[in-house]
Amino acid sequence: MQISNIPEAFSLSIRIKLISCLLDGEKSFKDIKQITKATDGNISVQLSKLEEWGYVRSEKTICGKRPKTSYKITDFGIRQFEEYVSLLESMLKTVSISESEREKKCI
């Protein structure tokens, strides 16, 4: 992954929050709402986009008489997130090296 082709899934902080909160396992919509502090509408729209792009998948069940939707990150979503984090790490390393070089020149 390069900075010029970062996937749209990582272009909004809410999407990064949604993906991040699913990294440690399946979550219900209610759990996601509590973690992200986002509105129902925003969560719903962004999860739908992430699902359409293959980053998450949903499962609808009936719990008692109520519908329950749970979400899980896909293998593709995990790989893409890892690549995104690696890109950020490499950019930070480059910045750190540049800072070191500037400090040496000033001494």
Note the pLDDT tens digit of each residue in 21-38.
999 999 999 999 999 999
Between 79 and 99, where is the model more confident? 79
Give per-residue burial for 87-106: e unless 16+ CB within 10 Å, then b: beeeeeeeeeeeeeeeeeee
Q: How far apart are CA 53 and CA 80, in angstroms?
A: 11
At the top level of CATH, the class of 3-106 is mainly alpha
Between 66 and 52, where is the model more confident? 52
Does 107 score more than 60 pLDDT?
no
Can you give the pLDDT at residue 4? 87
Q: What percent of the chain has pLDDT over 70?
A: 89
